[in-house]
Amino acid sequence: MVRPTKETPAPMTGGVLALDLGTSMVKAVLVSPNGEVLHAGQVPVPRGEQGVVDTLPLWDLVAEAIQQVLASVGGAEHVQAVIATGQGDGLWMLDKEGKPLPQAFLWNSNAGAHVVAQWADDGSIDSHFRATGTVLWSGSQAALWRWFSESQSKLASTVSAVMCAKDLVNYLLCGERATDVTDASIPFLRPGTTTYSFEAAEKLGCGPLIDLLPAVRQPGELLGTVSPLAAQHTGLRAGTPVHVGALDVVAMLWGSGQGEIGDVFAVLGTTALTASVTPRSAFDGDPVGASISLPDDSKSLRAMGSSSGTATLEWFLKLHGFTGDERYENFWKEVDASHGGDEIFLPYLAGERAPFLAPHATGSFLGLTSNSTVGSMGRAVVEGITMAMCLGMDFSLPEVNARESTIVLAGGGSLSPQWAQMVSNVSGKTVIVDGRAHLGALGVAGLILDGTGEIATTREIAISAFSPDSNHPALLLRYAVFQEAIRAVSPLWGHTSASKEESP
């Protein structure tokens, strides 16, 4: 298990309550000192407008998830510390009185699309990448702030702080405004430091935003203690320590026991993401993806987070009447019964951010015939999501592109054997599935465990492994058509940014 170096804390007699603030689900997970999940509570986040969430109702959901755990264990005395992980980026704001603004804008918001298009035209996207290693997209904090400050200037003038999801929850728990190096990486952190670059912000027209960003701390540090007001709202004990957490993809990486240079991690969740731990270096390559600082400043996490993911699959399921707890099982039955087909699906229902920047990209079915069925189209949807994810790996992570390398796969989509096999066939790599439900929570809980036990790594637990099978050649052919299709239709999208000659 690779974690930041820290002083050994005093022995822990209870458990760590890890909060995981996802796009579609809020979780509270009590983890024992031996790294075992004792109890978990979870509450779905109501679906509303794309990329928008109501902040105070979300705080109520956090409290509900916590209370589920407390009811299971018999009281708050079993919680010895709290730490949070969650979705990154977006725009979560406090007003002059320190109260959350009613709405937050998420990483998958397209509100900043016109801002990103302008930056792509004037060269700002490329120059920002050279300084930070990150290509900004519509749901990045910088793009959303430019949009918000220009379109809602009166409301923007009331903002006293801008932060990420977990940082807002920490503030509501203990009253402290802070973030960590992983979440602060995008958009303005100076790589390898805990300070922001005012110059980078100024170049994007975001100079005033710097004064609104929270102090940058290291994951695992003590941040504060649960306030009496938060204790009343959540059921936690006032005075319970609250620690600085980390961005969800980093937390999941740690939870799987990874963190060494060359480790490759993929997530089939709301976003389909691939990431690799790399040595920190100058950003002189192609301007793609994001670079996330790690506590060990000699390393960074190169992440390619597609805007497609399980949310795209949920769109298809809803459209074709797959509902309820058995919707995935019924969906895969339809796919398995479809007997193949040559349909191709471009899954860009919400634009794309990596490995190419196309905020106005749209989805498309190609190759439909009178023989196409819901099952064959569904197969194309899942393949399209997989191919969008693997494209990031192929395009921007050449250092991990050797065929003998292994991908650790996590997220809800990884629980489907058919989907995990598909990832192996498209990528040409061995896929090891970490099917644990609370990987991010385990990762941040591990930051403050007392060392009496270790969280199991992916390779130590009962897992599934997949290697390319007889369908691999056919998938590779469709993968090539998928890439050709992107090249063919991308002129219709406008403002598509990618540097390689062979890229979309």
Q: Do 127 and 275 reside in the same domain of the chain?
A: no
Instruction: Give the C-alpha distances (Å, rounded to integers) separating 230 from 175, 276, 319, 466, 471.
Output: 9, 37, 40, 45, 53
Nearest to 87 by CA among 30, 152, 141: 141
Predicted pLDDT at 450: 58
Closest CA to 44 of 25, 29, 67, 60: 25
Q: What b/e readout covers 280-289, taking b as 16+ CB neighbours within 10 angstroms? A: beebeebbbb
Amino acid 405: pLDDT:
73
Q: In this structure, are 294 and 213 located in the same domain?
A: no
Residues 287 and 404 in one domain: yes
Q: Residue 144 has what pLDDT?
A: 97
- Per the listing, tokens 């407008």 go with 49
The CATH number given to whatever domain includes residue 83 is 3.30.420.40
Host H or E run for residue 467: none
Cβ atoms within 10 Å, residue 173: 27
Does residue 464 belong to any structural domain of this protein? no
Q: State which residues form the domain around 365.
A: 257-433+470-493
For the chain, the domain total comes to: 2
Asked whether residue 445 is assigned to any structural domain, the reply reads no
**Is 298 a domain residue?**
yes
Q: pLDDT, tens digit, for every residue of 419-432?
A: 999 999 999 999 99
- Of 302 and 5, the structure prediction assigns the larger pLDDT to 302
- Residue 499 belongs to some domain of the structure: no
Residues 116 and 79 in one domain: yes
pLDDT tens digits, 390-443 = 998 876 555 544 445 789 999 989 999 999 999 999 999 999 998 888 999 999
Identify each DSSP E strand in 156-315 by its residue range.
Answer: 159-163, 178-180, 215-217, 222-225, 241-247, 264-268, 272-279, 290-293, 299-305
Kindly tell me if the per-residue pLDDT of 364 is higher than 50.
Answer: yes
Residue 459 located in a structural domain: no
Half-sphere CA count of 369, side-chain side, radius 13 A: 7
**Residue 304 pLDDT class (50, 70, 90 cuts):** very high
Q: Is residue 503 part of a domain?
A: no
Last residue of a domain, one of 217, 248, 279: 248
Domain co-membership, 360 together with 388: yes
Average pLDDT over residues 98-113: 94
Do 24 and 105 lie in one domain? The reply is yes
Q: Which of residues 193, 220, 248 is at a domain's end?
A: 248
Are 306 and 244 contained in the same domain? no
Q: Is pLDDT above 80 for 500?
A: no
Q: Are residues 157 and 269 in the same domain?
A: no
Strand 103-105 versus strand 52-54 pairing type: antiparallel
Q: Provide the token pair at 235.
A: 């059921």
Instruction: Tell whether 204 and 278 lie within a shared domain.
Output: no
pLDDT of residue 3: 54
Same domain? 24 vs 152:
yes
Domain boundary among 214, 231, 248: 248
How many CA atoms does the CB half-sphere of 83 hold within 13 Å?
A: 29
Distance between CA atoms of residues 143 and 462, nearest Å: 42
